[in-house]
Amino acid sequence: MSTRTQITDPGVPGRTVWVTGAAGLIGTELVRQAAASVPGWRVLGLTRADLDLTHSAAVTARFRSEPPDWILHCAGLTKSPQCQVEPELAWTLNVEVTRQLSELAASARLLFFSTDLVFDGRAGGYREADAVNPLNRYGETKAVAERVVLDGPRHLVVRTSLNYGSSRTGDRTFNEETVRLWRERRPMTLFTDEYRCPIPAVSTARAVWDLVTAVERGDARLPEPGADPTRRLFHVAGAEKLSRWELGRALAERWPELQPELRPGSLKDYVGGPRPADTSLVCDRVQAVLDWSLPRFSEWLRAQPREPEREGG
Ligand SMILES: NC(=O)c1ccc[n+]([C@@H]2O[C@H](COP(=O)([O-])OP(=O)(O)OC[C@H]3O[C@@H](n4cnc5c(N)ncnc54)[C@H](OP(=O)(O)O)[C@@H]3O)[C@@H](O)[C@H]2O)c1
């Protein structure tokens, strides 16, 4: 199938983009914003039903028939607990699938979504070049995949944190899961000493489109790639570091009618597997190419009109 592309501005010709994981939280948002962010580009949102990425022959065939200029690779095994119990599937989806896409797109560009959970959380305030040391299988597979991607000299990695939003299935995001537990009248213990930098998925997608178009324009604000592959790594997260407790309080304020029962707790008392305490991210590098500020999550949330139907209500 061929589509005539339009010229969007004199410096940026129309491009063909694949978005994998297009039924997922961030993939859905990327596809939704495409018309406004990259008008005239041909953006193919690929769901698992369109193309199962574990079928490598089908992936190669699709790549040859509709070669993209960019792959925004959102698909993966994205939940830590599932990666712990299905470590081989996590490896296949997060590493091997990424390797194949990365190699196929060697002369195009791939942007891979990674996670703050590549860090062990002992220090917090992580920058792109800081050493990774994942504590769980999800983080391990993402850390390996990052290296695979960055071996391709044109490819980029975006590490993001907890993304807020409404999934198509209504049960995938941390906010949907939290509201579900409150509806079931389940009390919740939240750690006052475990920190992330939550971000709305709408902002993650907006930042990624801005980054992609900045690369296409050869924006002088982007760091020179140079020899160091970590120059092609970008942290994209909220501008506010919040504990799980503070995050729970912010959500509870939004759902007063559920009368959520929150109890403060400490990571020190947690009896499960290892959990990183503070995976807050410094996002100066991506912020330098954005003409808007990455949001402070609690302020952003308070300013949002409530949409109970879409927020797990
Ligand atoms: N959301 C966050 O808080 C967060 C935080 C840090 C990093 N990230 C990373 O950002 C990326 C996007 O996250 P997300 O929250 O949008 O993830 P998500 O909602 O879980 O979406 C992942 C998508 O991958 C698809 N997928 C799984 N196996 C597939 C296969 N074999 N073939 C094709 N598609 C397949 C899933 O399809 P089905 O819908 O059919 O299952 C799903 O739609 C992920 O790589 C994730 O690790 C996300």
Query: Using one digit for the tens of pLDDT, what is the confidence trace for 98-125?
Result: 999 999 999 999 999 999 999 999 999 9
At 225, is the pLDDT very low, low, confident or very high (cuts 50, 70, 90)? low
pLDDT of amino acid 101: 98
Q: Could you give the count of Cα atoms lying within 13 Å of 297 in the half-sphere of its Cβ?
A: 30
- Residue 27 Cβ < 6 Å to ligand 1: yes
CB 78 less than 6 A from any atom of ligand 1: yes
Give the distance (Å) from ligand 1 centre to CA of residue 27: 8
Lowest mean per-residue pLDDT among 23-37, 111-125, 172-186, 219-233: 219-233
Query: Could you tell me the two tokens for 182?
Result: 């409150």
pLDDT at residue 92, as a whole number: 98
**CA 275 to each of CA 116, 134, 197, 212: distance values in angstroms, whole numbers, following the listed order:** 12, 10, 15, 32
Q: 78: CA distance to ligand 1 center in Å?
A: 5
pLDDT at 309 over 70: no
- Nearest CA to 20 out of 119, 139, 145 is that of 145
Looking from the CA of residue 201, the nearest atom of ligand 1 is 1
Q: Using pLDDT thresholds of 50, 70 and 90, give the confidence band for residue 223.
A: confident
Q: So what's the pLDDT on residue 273?
A: 83
Enter the tokens of residue 258: 């559920």
So what's the pLDDT on residue 281? 98
Distance 52 CA to ligand 1 centre (A): 13
Q: Above 60 in pLDDT, residue 6? A: no
Tokens of 246: 């503070």
Are the CB atoms for 92 and 42 separated by under 8 Å?
Answer: no
Say how far apart CA 138 and CA 82 lie, in whole Å.
8
Q: State residue 137's pLDDT score.
A: 96
198 close to ligand 1 (CB < 6 Angstrom): no
Q: Which of 30-34, 90-94, 182-186, 234-238 has the lowest mean pLDDT?
A: 182-186
Structure confidence at residue 312 (pLDDT): 58
- pLDDT confidence of residue 310: 64
Helix (H/G/I), strand (E/B), else coil: 25: helix
Pocket test for ligand 1, best of 33, 48, 161 (most atoms within 8 A of CB): 48
The answer to whether 108 touches 68, Cβ cutoff 8 Å, is yes
C-alpha 228 – ligand 1 centre gap (Å): 28
**Spatial distance between the Cα atoms of 295 and 237, rounded to a whole number of angstroms:** 8
48 lines ligand 1 (CB under 6 A): yes
As a whole number, mean pLDDT of residues 249-275 equals 92
Q: Using a 6 Å cutoff on CB, does residue 143 contact ligand 1?
A: no
Q: In 3-state terms, the chain is what percent helix, strand and coil (to 5)? A: 40, 15, 45
Task: Classify each residue of 38-74 as buried b or exposed e, where b means 16 or more C-beta atoms within 10 Å of its C-beta.
Answer: beebbbbbbbeeebebeeeeebeebbeeeebbbbbbb
Kindly state the percentage of the chain with pLDDT values over 70.
Answer: 93
d(CA 237, CA 243): 14
Mean pLDDT (the chain) is 92
The model's pLDDT over 197-208, given as tens digits with 9 standing for 90+, comes to: 999 999 999 999
Helix (H) or strand (E) holding 87: helix 87-91
Q: For residues 78 and 112, is the Cβ–Cβ distance under 8 A?
A: no
CATH class of 16-303: alpha beta
**Residue 231 exposed, middle or buried by CB count within 10 Å (0-12, 13-18, 19+):** middle
Element (H, E) at 215: helix 201-217
The answer to whether 205 and 33 have CB atoms below 8 angstroms apart is: yes
